[in-house]
Amino acid sequence: MEVQLSGPLRAAVGNQSVVSVEARSIRELFRTLSERYPEFTVSIANGVAVAINGNVYRDDWSTAIPENAEVVLLPRIQGG
Amino acid sequence: MTDSTSFTNQKFKVIGQRVRRQDGMDKVTGRAKYGADAVAPGQLVGVILRSPHAHAKIKKIDTSRAEKLKGVKAVITSKDLPDYTNGNRDLLSMLENCMARGRALYDGHAVAAIAAVDASTARKALKLIKVDYKILPHVTDVDAAMQEDAPVIHDWVRTIGVEPAPSKASNVSMRSEFGHGDVDAGFAKADVIIEKSYKTEQTHQGYIEPHACLASMSPDGSGELWVTTQGHFAYRNWCAQLLGLDMSKLKVTSSEIGGGFGGKTHIWMEPIALALSRKANRPVKLVMSREEVFRASGPTSSTSIDVKIGATKDGRIVAATSECRYQGGAFPGAWAVIGAMTSFACYDLENVKTVGYEVVCNRPKVAAYRAPSAPMASFATESTVDLVAEALGMDPVDFRILNAAKEGTRASYGPTYGPIGIGPTLEAVKKHPHMRAKLKKNQGRGMACGFWFNFGGQTSCTINVAADGTVNLSVGTIDVGGSRSSLSMICAEELGISYEQVRTHIGDTAALAHNDMTDGSRGTFASGMAAIIAARRTKEVLKLRAATAWEIPVEDVDWQAGYAVALGDKHSNLEPLSLADIAANTENTGGPVAGHNEFVADGAGVSFASHICDVEVDPETGSTRVIRYTVIQDAGKAIHPDYVEGQFQGGAAQGIGWALNEEYIYGEDGRLQNPGFLDYRIPVCSDLPFIDTQILEIPNPNHPYGVRGVGETSIVPPLAAVGNAVSNAVGVRMTHVPMSPPRILAALEAEA
């Protein structure tokens, strides 16, 4: 699966905007990225949201990632 | 079914009605208790000494004379707030913002605090504290702070997101970039390219209730805090972490809230009140003055933004870029990143690139303000969109409709949109009678659209059924805009009972599991979803109790319109049992009846709005009056239409004030010149026309009722809608917010 990264998250994976990862859930995706790119753990601590087929998930790492899903990693932002 | 959060197109009896609000009577009669209304036996009055300097080293603080004054019970400085943050830079910044640690970083930064038996003693003691400052160079302007020769505020700040990683400190804490396609190739195809720079000044949320709390610490390490806040669980967690307390031993109770708009999602003086109470061994009440609210709470960013848009003759945007420079106050923040994400979120663009720079300045630490960072980015984008339409000779609404994002559009910030409402809001603008109303001399019309994300987050709630069949719903999301009534409606809808049978309360931090703050327009969305699930679980308990009473299998019981009904001919002799019937006999059927839910409410749908504004500008004075204003926004599903309309109107009113009047004005000395509502003017009723509203309902597929958050989006378009209207009225493009009379006159003179 191709995972797109936006904004400041690209720096944590060697300034790439797309990385290939096999993962069936957000938890597995984060674990895989952290193993491959140790700096990504800092990104997770700062907050990462995951858009799966356009729906943004900010918290629940158990969320399943369907096959061929569009996955975009976004910085977790604040609201008012 | 019970826990499903998917949209089902359910038919409603209670949802969509305009019922009487549950907090109304107490608020209009003065019975409602706000932050400053909490009292405790033996309470002291807390006051804070604040820096008069924009940037200064604190060489020495002598508190000895204050401590000796009769009636003074505690004096604290940063020495009384040891660092428990364990290397967490964000937490340390929070602590340092509450009380300066060796340096004052902005005018108004707290340097010491006192608790005394009364206010006059406390204020007298403040004057006895002697602070020896060494004044340091300061910078308050976002562009100036980015210059090579600017005074560097923190020697530990390195710009994240640039290659190679800098070895030198600067005031730029982060660069972020979004987009897709090839903007250079896109601009090469353009027939028209407009490039423009914009500035917006710093504004405050302007909530009427100042920050206030009552703190009471016991010598055993437990404590209580009564406080006005948008998130009492977050306040508890932060205060406990900063003071070295066990979270479970600090109980935080939220008061009614007199406005927050993001400003009460951060702690400012609550740890100070707790630390004073701990030292004095007495309860301490701390209430900010209006001047303190302006100088030392969290306004929004001032910004400097460049936008470039290219389009072909047929009206298609072929490339767009923006560079967003956001001032975040005295500590690194993440505000420009949101500006960069929202800049072009309304449009379907093949080639787009947005960049954000986070800039540290000697100003108060910036806080969220209703759709934080989006209004400024929208001002720059939507002003430029109007200019491109004008250059192409196209109607600005038609131009926007042609380029609007739709289902399947890849958003400029990354993901592909599902069903969204920007197109329908623009079509509604096109058809609205407001657009056909005639304008007079010196009047102008403008429109603009806007976007906001909306959040969900951690949520819990409990439903308790009383013995008479009435119901309490306890939630942990603060009610900032009427959510208690909306949540009661949801609970009544699910249980099949009347709205009047349900009363919703905000539980304290010891009564419920964690709830995220009421931000990101999540209150009714997230707690509503939690309440639906809790109510459905309650119905399952009620069915079981009826089955127990009837001595029949629960599978033979259904819940219909507030009654347990026994299904099938073999049970035709059993009269339906109402909720009250079941509630009256719970001791015989298994004990109290309750329903709970603890979950993460992900899947909040994005929200769009389009606004129309008419203004009249006096060319002699530059004074502007908004004469007509219309808000059209997608709500997904309006639970209580009055509240939805109120959110639309409130956001528009705040945006109009921001567009025309509101501004933090700093002197050369870095001191805030206008920390009060006389010199910082928010709009009042007589300044505004009735704000017309139109609710669109494009269901969010991730909510059982289709709800989207509605609280924030309405502040996004006004800066640009007003800006386009003023520019059309005076014939000069306005690029600096607020468009105050002096700025309009200066623009007219420059054009003449």
Which pLDDT score, from 0 to 100, does residue B605 have? 82
Task: Give B15-26 pLDDT, tens digit per residue.
Answer: 999 999 999 999
- Quick one: CA torsion of B732, B428, B414, B606, rounded to 10 degrees? 120
Among residues 8-47 of chain A, which lie with CB inside 8 Å of chain B?
Answer: 8, 10-11, 15
Q: Does A66 touch chain B (CB under 8 A)?
A: no
Rounded to 5°, the CA angle B735-B736-B740 comes to: 125
Q: Does A4 touch chain B (CB under 8 A)?
A: yes
Query: Which residues of chain A neighbour B456 with C-beta distances below 8 Å?
Result: 58-59
Cα B534 to Cα B490: distance, rounded to the nearest angstrom: 11
Q: Which CATH number does the domain housing residue A62 bear?
A: 3.10.20.30
Cα B36 to Cα B293: distance, rounded to the nearest angstrom: 14
Which residues, in sequence order, are CB contacts of B380 under 8 Å at separation 6+?
B196, B198, B305, B306, B307, B322, B324, B343
Tell me, what's the ipTM?
0.95
Whether residue A80 is contained in a domain is answered as no
- Quick one: CA torsion of B66, B96, B244, B246, rounded to 10 degrees? 110
CB B44 within 8 A of CB B284: yes
> Strand runs (DSSP E) across B30-107, as ranges?
44-50, 56-62, 72-76, 103-104
Give the architecture-level CATH label for domain B35-136+207-296: Alpha-Beta Complex (3.90)
Task: Give B133-173 pLDDT, tens digit per residue.
Answer: 999 999 999 999 999 999 999 999 999 989 888 999 999 99
Whether residue A63 is contained in a domain is answered as yes
Q: Do domains B426-445+608-752 and B456-600 have the same CATH topology?
A: yes
Domain spans, chain B: 35-136+207-296, 426-445+608-752, 456-600
CB B405 within 8 A of CB B420: yes
Burial class of residue B298 (count of CB atoms within 10 Å of its CB; 0-12, 13-18, 19+): buried
Tokens 């607020």 identify what position?
B738
Is the entire prediction scored with pTM above 0.80?
A: yes
Q: From 3.40.50.1820, 3.30.300.30, 3.40.50.300, 3.30.365.10, which CATH number describes the B456-600 domain?
A: 3.30.365.10
Cα B463 to Cα B602: distance, rounded to the nearest angstrom: 21
Residue ranges in B393-509 assigned as alpha helix (H): 396-403, 422-431, 483-495
Cα B487 to Cα B77: distance, rounded to the nearest angstrom: 43
Say yes or no for a CB contact (<8 Å) between A15 and B337: no
Whether residue A47 is contained in a domain is answered as yes
Low-confidence ranges of chain B (pLDDT < 50): none
Tokens 């986070």 identify what position?
B358
Which residues, in sequence order, are CB contacts of B130 under 8 Å at separation 6+?
B60, B61, B62, B65
Q: Can you read off the two tokens belonging to residue B644?
A: 């939805």
Give the residue numbers spanning the domain of A31.
2-75
Which pLDDT score, from 0 to 100, does residue B1 have? 62
Beta bridge partners of B76: B113
Say yes or no for a CB contact (<8 Å) between A7 and B340: yes
- Nearest Cα to B450, choosing from B347, B603, B366? B347
Whether residue A38 is contained in a domain is answered as yes
The alpha carbon dihedral of B262, B267, B270, B274 has a sign of positive
CB B283 within 8 A of CB B124: no
Cα B327 to Cα B203: distance, rounded to the nearest angstrom: 12
Cα B399 to Cα B402: distance, rounded to the nearest angstrom: 5
Which pLDDT score, from 0 to 100, does residue B672 have? 98
Phi, psi of B616 (to 5 degrees): -125, 125
| Single-letter code of the amino acid located at B359 | V
Nearest-CB residue to B602 (from A7, A60, A80):
A60
pLDDT band with cut points at 50, 70 and 90 for residue A8: confident
Whether residue A61 is contained in a domain is answered as yes
Q: Does B163 touch chain A (CB under 8 A)?
A: yes
Which residues, in sequence order, are CB contacts of B399 under 8 Å at separation 6+?
B315, B385, B388, B389, B392
Q: How far is CA B443 from the centre of its chain?
A: 33
* 3-state class percentages of chain A: helix first, strand second, coil last, to nearest 5: 30, 30, 45
Say yes or no for a CB contact (<8 Å) between A54 and B415: yes
- Nearest Cα to B459, choosing from B438, B473, B476? B476
Q: How far is CA B608 from CA B457, B528, B693, in A?
A: 21, 21, 14
Q: Does B590 touch chain A (CB under 8 A)?
A: no
Cα B344 to Cα B356: distance, rounded to the nearest angstrom: 13
What does DSSP say about strands A2-5 and A71-75: parallel, antiparallel, or unpaired? parallel
Q: Does A68 touch chain B (CB under 8 A)?
A: no
Phi, psi of B694 (to 5 degrees): -140, 120
Which pLDDT score, from 0 to 100, does residue B15 have? 98
Nearest-CB residue to A63 (from B262, B602, B712):
B602
Say yes or no for a CB contact (<8 Å) between A60 and B416: no
Q: Can you read off the two tokens belonging to residue B490?
A: 């949801």
Q: What is the CATH number of domain B426-445+608-752?
A: 3.30.365.10
> H helices then E strands: how many in chain B?
20, 27
Domain count, chain A: 1
Say yes or no for a CB contact (<8 Å) between A7 and B337: yes
Say yes or no for a CB contact (<8 Å) between B262 and A54: no
Query: Which residues of chain B neighbour A75 with C-beta distances below 8 Å?
Result: 176, 334, 337, 341
Q: Can you read off the two tokens belonging to residue B170?
A: 């600067």
Q: Considering chain B, what is the average pLDDT of its residues?
A: 97
Beta bridge partners of B557: B566
Q: Does B648 touch chain A (CB under 8 A)?
A: no
Among residues 304-333 of chain B, which lie with CB inside 8 Å of chain A?
Answer: none
Which pLDDT score, from 0 to 100, does residue A7 have? 78
Helix (H, G, I), strand (E, B) or coil at B204: coil
